[in-house]
Chain A
Amino acid sequence: MSNVDQQQEKREFGAEFHSLWRITFCPAIWALHFTLSYCTAAIVCAKGGSVEMLRAGIAIGTVASLVAIAWLGWRSWRQWDLVNDREWENDAGTSEDRHQFLGHAAFLLSIISFIGVAYVALPALLIETCR
């Protein structure tokens, strides 16, 4: 392999390594949202604090998480590139298919994370006290 090839490969690999992580970004946002909601609720309920503030805080955190997930989801939708090539399966051993497959997986995970975050936010919406 020539030097140029290697450099190109490094660049490609860098980008792609990133994209294997990228499929976990949305679930990671769900995890972060979940942990923060649970911890703040636990601290506010234990140490005494304004439940109204808590609910407002969870609302803000939820909106921020949903926006972030939606943005990542849109990016992975672009990466999947369904509109242009109508390819659902991406099952060939090529760089293009691997790239689009990772997009597809990330896109699906963003949907599930979106639902997950919305679910977890419901308690703060519906329950008005700690008790």
Chain B
Amino acid sequence: MSAPERMPAPEGPFPPTEEMLSEPVPQEEQERGKAELRAAWKTPEGWRYWSAVNNTEVGVWYALTAFAFMLIAGLLALAIRVQLAFPDSQFLDADRFNQFFTMHGSAMMFLFAVPMFEAISILLLPAFLGARDMPFPRLSAYGYWCFLIGGIFVLGSLLFDAGPKAGWFMYPPLATKEEGIGPDVWLLGLSFIEVASIAAAVELIVGALKCRPPGMRVNIMPLYAWYVLVVGGMILFAFPPLIAGDFLFELERSFDWPFFDPTRGGDPVLWQHLFWIFGHPEVYIVFLPSIAIAAMIVPTVARRPIVGYSWIVLSAVGTGFLSFGLWVHHMFTTGLPQMSLAFFSAASEAVVIPTGIQLFAFVATLMVGRVKMSLPMLWIAGALAIFVAGGLTGVMLALVPFNWQVHDTYFIVAHLHYTLFGGMVFPVIAGVYYFFPFFRKKLLSERLGRWCFWLVFTGFNVTFLPMHMTGLMGMPRRIFTYPESSGWGWLNLISSVGAFIVAAGFAVFLYDLLRPKHRQPQIPRNPWGAGTLEFSHDVPEEAWGVRSIPHVTTRYPLWEQDRIVERMDAGHYYLPNAPDRKRETIVTSVIDGKPLYVQEVTGPTWITILAAVFTGGAFIFPTFHIYTPAIVCGAFAIVCVLWWLWTSTARPPKNDMREAGLGLRLPTYASGPNAVGWWAIWITMLGDATAFASLVFGYFFYWTARPDFPPPDAAHPEGLWAALTAALLVLAWAAIVTARETNGRGHQGVARGSIALAICAAAGGAGSAWLAVADLSPTSHVYPAMLWALMVWLVAHVAAGVVMQGYCLAGSLFGKLTHKYDADLRNVTLFWHFIALKALVVGAILGLAPMVLS
């Protein structure tokens, strides 16, 4: 990639010297900067408030919504505990019980745990990094509205007695054969929410890599940012397999393609693989960001820098990798070869090491620090205690023979609640107490907080500690009642009592969170005496994020950089004003945080809500097997997104350069690898490629798992069409690369011609892909169904690629895209690199694989 021509480079001194920083800023200049920033970052008022996209608004909505869903899921759990309190109870019937436990698990995982991480990160990450906002505020807002609509849809199904009831991992054939719309609600509703998760992952990875303040190198960024980076990466590799699985599952439900039907060559175990390739990393995706909150609180409490910063980085990255080698430990009883099971058992034992290291680092920090016990630390202590207990049962469960004994019993229920409650709920509540002064500029009550802690802590242990015993005594999960003679009654009663103690604790927390606090006096800016940038925030609140973006040279700037807050307040640092009344933040280099350019970030809009509503329609209508309105909604969603991109992203700037403060002049536009948009495409496509790889894995899985794949008398795709598919799509890719190069050299006519050629070639490629499999009947056997699925996946991506090429062509014709401002074209080219790769793989599977495998 050559740098784009004729976009000027950054000019001026960097890093700033002490003399530069000590020069006073004239008072009237300070006031002017403040007024400009206030105007640029003004939060919309009245009913327009909901059009806000700023991270501080969206993050709060996100967190409160996730919390509300958690309370609903908690109420479901209470109903479950009431039903199980006594043997032969009639409180819920079997069917409703199934819906409740399925929804409890699904909602806690998909509607609370993951979204809560996204919410907290969207709220906090810019503050940790002294950035004004996330790189793509509208993407966060779009993700939030998708999450809200999807969550209401999924939970609402319970009110109509139409909820899913096959358990939160929806195993076929139980789930594929189930009558009613329950499984469709689960699949489509949650796939829709996964859109929000992937959006958040893109946002957070780019935020952590590119939106750090000038001077913040990777070795001094807050540990939270390291965790976010790792977790974002995990989401990219963990969620797509589930999306691929959902895709196959819904094709079976809607069109009867037999992916999981053994009578026609399918295999239910494939779903289990795809689900757990997502499902096990998922629990670490939930756990790591929560323990990241502990990594922010522990140094503050110990009043010293964290001990073993590198060790914690190792632990985050190591856990991120190793957690992908564990998924089969959920499938130890499926009859896989012993050797395969043992691989996963070994990896499950290995993951304990990095997970443990970070806990030791926290304990070491507390030991050498001068601990000042506070409410957040109380919650962290509770978290460590409970999580370690859960981790130890995990070590037991990783052993295959023991696992067989307790598989599907309440021992598992106890283990997963210990890890998730201790590893996620407790640290998050600690985070709420710790960061509440930052979120709301108020403090929560110390006394209520202690009540809440002891209620939840004792209640939790009373509920789940006996469950280990219940499980060892043989009580299976997911049974709606049990006979008196089983002897499980008294343990269940204890658990049920404990559940209500936990609920009482949460009621206290809820009251403390929501009670009006306007009579509380103004809080100090840094009530805990923390050392990281988020506590340089303005009290009373200002919407601009930071008054000026600091130059950071230490891990704990508030402790170690003299007068940094005072200088930030005085607008000494970068971007202390907004002369054009635009929202801006600084984009820096990945490793060393050198300022690269000033990124304009988008402001309030309704289009994100519209786009989310239409996207929702595209996912929700198919649940009821209504396809026409779904397609219409999908088209409108695309139009909304295009309009939003066209009007507010990568527009040619008014001025190529901007005075950024401290004598630094920065460009206002970037394209290619410097630009945040390019990184976003790259990251999204990495996730997308993972989903595609999961489908290819499915193809080869059938080949290993089934003797009749491909069936001996199977019709195979026409080799000619398969070859033509690959050839035409590679031609389309070559044409778009040519367009990028010629456009960069200023030959606009040639570039436009190349884009037009690329569009024609792509359309031809999509057509021949369809012709290759058109004669095969996907309902007859899993082999043609799999080929069809690969074709559909490829054609859908080519269609998106064609829309993008059309967008570039329009941009070129209307002057949005020129030889100098070519970000759109570079991003689309990047997208096409991935399509070319997919085309080659699909061409090979359609054309070459039959010769090799039969």
A41 touches B340 (CB 8 A): yes
Interface presence of B781 (CB below 8 A): no
Which residue of B has the minimal Cβ distance to A46? B704
Contact with A along B191-223 (1 / 0, CB 8 A): 000000000000000000000000111111000
Interface on chain B toward A: helix, strand, loop, or mixed SS?
helix
A86 within 8 A of B: no
B349 sits at the interface (CB 8 A): yes
Q: Is A97 positioned at the interface, with any CB of B under 8 Å from its CB?
A: yes
- On chain B, the residues within 8 Å of A102 by CB distance are 218-219
A17 touches B350 (CB 8 A): no
| CA A108 to CA B312, docked complex, whole Å | 10
Binds A, one of B131-139, B587-595, B770-778: B587-595
Q: Contacts A13-B591, A16-B592; is A90 near B704 (CB within 8 Å)?
A: no
- Cβ-defined contact, B347 with A42, below 8 A: no
A20 at the interface (CB under 8 A from B): yes
Minimum distance in angstroms from A40 CB to a CB of chain B = 10
Number of A-B contacts (CB under 8 A): 148
Given A13-B589, A42-B704, A130-B338, answer yes or no on A90-B554 (Cβ-Cβ < 8 Å).
no
Task: Say yes or no: B552 contacts A93, CB within 8 Å.
Answer: yes
Check A20 against B590 for contact (C-beta < 8 Å). Answer: yes
Q: Which A-chain residue is minimally distant from B561 (CB atoms)?
A: A93
Contact partner of A91 among B350, B353, B554, B592, CB < 8 A? B554
Q: Does B354 sit within 8 A of A, measured CB to CB?
A: yes
B339–A123 CB distance below 8 A: yes
Question: Would you call A127 and B314 a contact (CB within 8 A)?
Answer: no
Is A127 touching B342 in the complex (CB atoms < 8 A)? yes
Residues of B within 8 A of A28 (CB): 321
- Docked pose: A31 CA to B343 CA in angstroms: 12
Q: Which residues of A contact B218 (CB under 8 A)?
A: 20, 98, 101-102
User: How far does the alpha carbon of A19 sit from the alpha carbon of B590 in the complex, in Å?
Assistant: 11
Docked CA distance A9–B9 (Å):
12
Contact call A91/B309, Cβ cutoff below 8 A: yes
Q: Give the shortest distance, in Å, between A99 (CB) and chain B (any CB).
A: 9
CA distance A99 to B176 in the complex (A): 53
Shortest beta-carbon distance, B554 to chain A, in Å? Answer: 6
Cβ of B399 within 8 Å of any chain A Cβ, yes or no, is no
Given A27-B321, A98-B218, is A123 in contact with B346 using a C-beta cutoff of 8 Å? Answer: yes
- The CB with the most chain A CB atoms within 10 A, among B217, B339, B555, is that of B339
> Do the beta carbons of A93 and B554 come within 8 Å of each other?
yes
Which residues of the other chain, B, contact A70 by a CB distance below 8 angstroms?
Answer: none
Interface residues of A in 66-84 (CB under 8 A from B): none
Q: How far is the CA of A112 from the CA of B317 in the complex (A)?
A: 10
Contact A116 to B9, CB < 8 A, known contacts A38-B343, A93-B215: no
- Given the contacts A20-B591, A46-B705, A93-B216, A6 and B350 also touching, CB distance less than 8 Å: no
CA distance A18 to B313 in the complex (A): 18
Q: Kindly state the separation between the CA atoms of A116 and B345 in the bound complex, as whole angstroms.
A: 11
Do B310 and A41 touch across chains, with their CB atoms under 8 A apart?
no
Asked if A89 and B321 make an inter-chain contact with CB atoms under 8 angstroms apart, the answer reads no
List B residues 292-314 near A (Cβ within 8 Å): 305, 309-311, 313-314
Interface size classification for chain A: 35 or more
Q: Out of A90, A108, A130, which one reaches B337, CB within 8 Å?
A: A130
| Beta-carbon nearest neighbor of A10 in chain B | B3
Q: Mark A39-79, 1 if CB is under 8 A from B, else 0.
A: 00111011100000000000000000000000000000000
Given contacts A1-B10, A17-B590, A101-B219, contact A123 B343 (CB under 8 A): yes
Mark out the residues of chain B between 529 and 587 whose CB falls within 8 Å of any chain A CB in the assembled complex. Answer: 552-555
Specify which of A98, A119, A131 is in contact with B347 (CB 8 Å cutoff): A119
Encode contact with A along B326-360: 1 for CB under 8 Å, 0 otherwise: 00000000001111101111110110011000000
Chain A 84-121 near chain B by CB (<8 Å), digits 1 or 0? 00000111110101100110110011001101100110
Which residue of B is nearest A120, CB measured?
A: B346
Q: Which chain B residues border A109 with CB–CB below 8 Å?
A: 314, 317-318
Whole-angstrom distance between the alpha carbons of A92 and B219 in the complex? 8
B324 within 8 A of A: yes
Given A34-B325, A93-B553, A130-B339 contact (CB < 8 Å): yes
CA distance A24 to B324 in the complex (A): 14
Q: Are B343 and A41 in contact (CB under 8 A)?
A: yes
Question: B788 to chain A: closest CB distance in Å?
Answer: 24
Name the CB-closest residue of B to A20. Answer: B591
Contact for B704 among A6, A43, A113, CB less than 8 A: A43
Q: Judging by beta carbons under 8 Å apart, are A127 and B219 in contact?
A: no
B376 vs chain A, min Cβ distance (A): 24
Distance in angstroms between the alpha carbons of A98 and B219 in the assembled complex: 5
Asked whether, in the complex, the Cβ of A131 is within 8 Å of the Cβ of B337, the reply is: yes
Least CB distance from A120 to B in Å reads 5
Residues on B with C-beta less than 8 A from A89 are 305, 309
Bound state CA distance, A97 and B11, in angstroms?
26
User: Given A16-B592, A127-B338, A130-B339, do A92 and B554 touch, yes or no (CB 8 Å)?
Assistant: yes
**Contact between B342 and A119, CB atoms less than 8 A apart:** no
Let me know if B322 is at the binding interface, CB within 8 A. yes
Contact yes or no, A131 B349, CB < 8 A: no
Contact pick for B220, options A47, A93, A104, A123, CB 8 Å: A93
CB-CB under 8 A for A112 and B310, given A98-B592, A130-B337: no
Chain A residues in 8 Å Cβ range of B345: 123
Identity of the chain B residue whose Cβ is nearest the Cβ of A100 in the assembled complex: B219
**B339–A30 CB distance below 8 A:** no
Q: Report which of B310, B591, B592 forms a contact with A90, defined as CB distance below 8 A.
A: B310
Q: In the complex, which residues of chain B have a beta carbon less than 8 angstroms from the beta carbon of A38?
A: 340, 343-344
The distance in angstroms between the C-alpha atoms of A12 and B594, with both chains bound, is 12
Least CB distance, A86 to chain B, in whole angstroms = 15
Q: Is the CB of A116 within 8 A of B590?
A: no
Q: Is the CB of B349 within 8 A of A119?
A: yes
A72 to B315, CA, bound (A): 18
How far is the CB of B574 from the nearest CB of chain A, in Å?
16
Give 22 pairs: A residue, B residue, CB < 8 Å, sorted on A: A1-B10, A16-B592, A17-B590, A27-B317, A31-B325, A91-B219, A92-B554, A98-B217, A98-B219, A98-B592, A101-B309, A101-B310, A102-B218, A112-B354, A115-B350, A116-B325, A120-B343, A122-B342, A123-B342, A124-B339, A130-B338, A130-B339
4 cross-chain pairs, A with B, having the tightest CB-CB distances, nearest first: A123-B342, A93-B553, A101-B219, A27-B321
Known interface pairs A24-B321, A38-B343, A123-B346; 12 further A-B residue pairs with C-beta atoms within 8 A, sorted by A's residue number: A9-B594, A13-B589, A27-B317, A43-B704, A93-B554, A104-B310, A108-B313, A108-B318, A112-B354, A127-B339, A130-B337, A131-B338
